[in-house]
Amino acid sequence: MCSTRRSGFAILPTPMPPLIVIRALTRTFDDGAGPVPVLRGVDLEVRSGEFVALVGRSGSGKSTLLHVLGGLDSRFEGVVTVAGTSLAGLSDQALARFRNEQVGFVFQSFHLIARLTVGQNVALPASFSATGPPDVDARVQDALERVGLADKTARLPAQLSGGERQRVAIARALFARPKVLLCDEPTGNLDAATAEGIVAHFRALNAEGLTIVAVTHEARLREAASRVLTLQDGRVVA
């Protein structure tokens, strides 16, 4: 993943900038009784190709951090740069474009649309942009093949197991060919054996070069990650 430059006779590697850079990130909510600081100065870098597991007790701000990273929450202070895009102060339109093109989301509860087929669910991101990619069908097929569901395109979500539903959600997240996959408790609604299958898919996607940041309580997912970070008292402590 490194380019090279000439220096005298030696060819030295030029390191690529990190895919994600967070500096002094703060996010404060107002719960009616006053300001509640949740993120209190998060500093973090993630390099392209990493698989990062984010852990921490309930309420420590893991989902909040993921929402900021994915452009779902812009009411933060500090520096957040993802795939070369600085998210601070972006317009709603620019943020929507960033979400649609640069990141894929996978949530605990799948978020599939019941009346749409598997293929239509995977193609959903195409409907969020005015133009969309020209090769929608090929992308749907490619994304479903990557999670081993190419033969289930015409099914409805109700006709799938929990693990298959989450694989459809992963395929949908892959549709736009994002730089990074952001996952919030992606195995939280699955039994242990099914969760193991999902973790295997994340491993394979990461081995293909996809950068993954996953919030998780799941030991197997932590073990699959190349780095485990803990959120505590509003900061990343390891």
Ligand X SMILES: Nc1ncnc2c1ncn2[C@@H]1O[C@H](COP(=O)(O)OP(=O)(O)OP(=O)(O)O)[C@@H](O)[C@H]1O
Give the interface segment with Mg ion, choosing from 23-31, 59-67, 99-107, 160-168 (CB under 5 A): 59-67
Of 90, 26, 102, nearest to 64 by C-alpha is 26
31 binds ligand X (CB under 6 A): yes
Tell me the C-alpha distance between 17 and 218, whole Å: 30
Q: Are 26 and 35 in contact (CB under 8 A)?
A: no
58 binds ligand X (CB under 6 A): yes
Give the interface segment with Mg ion, choosing from 58-66, 132-140, 187-195, 226-234 (CB under 5 A): 58-66
Q: Which is nearer to ligand X, 38 or 198 (CB)?
A: 38
Cβ burial of 220 (10 Å; 0-12, 13-18, 19+) is: middle
Least distance to ligand X, CB of residue 31, Å: 5
Q: Which is nearer to Mg ion, 121 or 216 (CB)?
A: 216
Q: How many residues bind ligand X (CB under 6 A)?
A: 12
Q: Are 182 and 106 in contact (CB under 8 A)?
A: yes
108 binds ligand X (CB under 6 A): no
Q: Are 189 and 29 in contact (CB under 8 A)?
A: no
61 binds ligand X (CB under 6 A): yes
Least distance to Mg ion, CB of residue 50, Å: 21
Q: Is the sign of the CA dihedral 153, 156, 161, 163 positive or negative?
A: positive
List residues binding Mg ion (CB under 5 A).
Answer: 63
List residues binding ligand X (CB under 6 A).
Answer: 29, 31, 36, 38, 56, 58-64
